[in-house]
Amino acid sequence: MKLHELTIRETHELLSSRKISSEELTRDYLERIQRLDPQVKSYVTISEDVALEQAKKADECLKSGEGLTPLTGIPYSAKDSISTRGVNTTCSSKILENYKPFYDATAIKKLNSANSVLLGKNNMDEFGMGSSTENSGFFTTRNPWNFDHVPGGSSGGSAATVAAGLAPFALGEDTGGSVRMPASFCGVTGLKTTYGRVSRYGLIPLVSSFDTIGPMARSAYDVALVLEAIAGHDPKDSTSRVESVQSYSESLKKTENLRGLRIGIPKEYFVEGLDKEVEASVRTAIKQIEGLGADVVEVSLPHTQYAIPVYYLILFAEASSNLAKYDGVRFGLSERTGDLMDVYLKTREAGFGAEAKRRIMLGTFALSAGYYDAYYLKAQKVRALIRQDFQKAFETCDALITPVAPTTAFRIGEKVTNPLDMYLSDVFVVAVNLAGIPALSVPCGFSNGLPIGMQIMGPHLSEETLLRIGHLYQSQTDWHTKHPRCW
C-alpha cells in the first residue's frame, strides 16, 4: 500500500514504530501534489520549506518518544482563510494576494503543538462566498471524481485535497455548509463543529455568528483524531466554549452498536426537488443505521422553508460589515491613486470579485437606515424560531439525519451565472449554522460516478454522538474507502 492510501491511524503506527519518517512521508505528499494538483487545482499555496522543517522537528520527537500525539508527523492542509504565520493567507481574493500573517490561528497553533506538518493552503470561494469554489479570485478547483464538475464550496479545495490523496486531512471552515457540501460532493467525511467548540481566533471572518473551523478526512475516526487536537477553550476567542474536550477517538473504539439512540428524520428535508438517487441512497443509509440498533422516527422542523432567506440576509449583512476593513488603507491591496475616495473605490473594484461585490452591496442595503428592521432584524427573529425547532426536535431525538445537498456535484459553469440557483443548493445545510449545532457529512453512495453525502445533525456539543453514528455506519459500509480515478 502506498503512503497516501493510509489513514491517519495507519500512518501514525508506521511513524511511531519508525518504519517511515515524517520527512519521507512529507516528501511523498509534496511530490504527489506537484504531479497531480495542476489538474485538481486544490492548493493556492504550497509551503514546502515550512513542511520539511516541521517534518524534521516531528522526526526528532518520534526519535525521542517525547510529546507524541496521534498527529505527530502527519501532513495536512488548511483552507486559505485560516491564518498561518509567514505563509500566504489570501482567502482566495486578490485583495489579500500577498498577505502573510504574523501569527497562527489557534487551530494551526494546536496542530503545531501536536507536531503536524503543514503542506499548504487550499483554494476556496473568495472570502467563503460561494458553494462551488468557482468564485475564487485565482482559479476554479475541480472535483477529483470528475474534472468537469465542481468540488462544492466554499471549502472545495480542502475537500478535493483529501479526496485526491494530496493530504491525509484538511482544515475547512463552515459558514453555511462550507465543510459539509464539499465533503459530500467529493466523497470524504467532514464535520461542522458546534459554534465555539473550535476557536475562531485567526480565522478571517465572513459571518462572525456562523463561522466554524472543522476537520475533513477520509473517515469519522480520522476526523475524531483531528477534532481532539484542535478543539477546546481559547481565551483569545470570546465565543469559545469552556467545556472540556472529550477523547472522541477512544469513545469510538468502544462503540459496538447504536442501541438506545433515537434518530429523527425531518420530513421537510425529503421534498420535491430532491434527486431520486440521492434520496434513495440516504434512505438506504438510514435503514442500515436502524439495523445497528437505533430507533428511527419522523420529526418536523416547520421553519425550514425560511432558512435560505434568513441565512443569506444575515450573511450579506455581516459580510458587508466584516469586509469593510479592506479599503486600501489598513489591509491588503492598495490602489494609491487620486484622493482618498479614489483609493477606496479603485482598491475595492480591483480587489473584490463579482460575488463579493454583490454580497457587500446587498448587505449594505439590508443594514441601511429604513431597512434594518424590515430585513436584518426580522431575519434574526426568524433565526430564533429555527433554533427553537431544533431544540424541540432534540427533546425526543439524539440526532437527525438528512441529505447534505439536493443533488450530486453539478457541472462547472452550470450555476455560476445564476446566483439564486446557486444559493438554493445550500437548502439542507444552512439551518445548522443558524442554530449553531454540529453536523457530520458521511459518504453514503454514488450517482453517475459522483459521491452522495448523508448529514447527521445533533444538539450542541454532541460531536461524540455524531462521530459514533458515522463511525459505526462506516464500519458496515465501504463508501468512504472508494477513491477517484486520479487517486
For residue 218, the tally of other CB atoms under 10 A from its CB is 24
- Choosing from 47, 136, 178, 281, the catalytic residue is 178
Q: Which three cell numbers stand for residue 367?
A: 443594514
* Measured distance CA(121)–CA(157) in Å, rounded: 9
- By CB neighbour count within 10 A (0-12 exposed, 13-18 middle, 19+ buried), where does 17 fall? exposed
Angle in degrees, CA 33, 36, 38, rounded to 5: 95
Give the closest residue to 121 by CA, choosing from 147, 152, 149, 85. 85
- By CB neighbour count within 10 A (0-12 exposed, 13-18 middle, 19+ buried), where does 485 fall? exposed
Residue type at position 66: E
- By CB neighbour count within 10 A (0-12 exposed, 13-18 middle, 19+ buried), where does 395 fall? exposed
- Choosing from 77, 136, 154, 219, the catalytic residue is 154
Backbone angles phi, psi at 465, to 5 degrees: -65, -45
**What are the residues facing 346 on neighbouring strands?**
none
Give the closest residue to 291 by CA, choosing from 163, 476, 43, 91. 476
Count of alpha carbons within 13 Å of 21, Cβ hemisphere only? 14
What are the residues whose beta carbons fall under 8 Å from the beta carbon of 94, sequence distance 6 or more?
A: 137, 138, 333, 350, 351, 352, 353
Q: Assess whether 79 carries a catalytic annotation.
A: yes
**Are 87 and 112 a contacting pair, CB within 8 Å?**
no
Please report where in the chains the cell 439512540 appears, as a residue: 261
Q: Assess whether 178 carries a catalytic annotation.
A: yes
Q: Which three cell numbers stand for residue 37?
A: 494538483
**What are the residues facing 446 on neighbouring strands?**
451
Give the closest residue to 44 by CA, choosing from 124, 112, 98. 124
Distances in whole angstroms, Cα of residue 243 to Cα of each of 4, 232, 252, 461, 466: 35, 7, 20, 9, 18
Radius of gyration in angstroms for the set of CA atoms belonging to the chain, rounded to a whole number: 21
Q: Which three cell numbers stand for residue 243?
A: 467545556
Angle in degrees, CA 131, 135, 136, rounded to 5: 115
Q: Assess whether 334 carries a catalytic annotation.
A: no
**What are the residues facing 121 on neighbouring strands?**
45, 78
Distances in whole angstroms, Cα of residue 133 to Cα of each of 93, 143, 160, 323: 12, 10, 11, 19
**Are 206 and 476 a contacting pair, CB within 8 Å?**
no
Alpha helix (H) residue ranges in 65-151: 106-113
- Choosing from 79, 110, 121, 415, the catalytic residue is 79
**What are the residue numbers of the active site?**
79, 154, 178
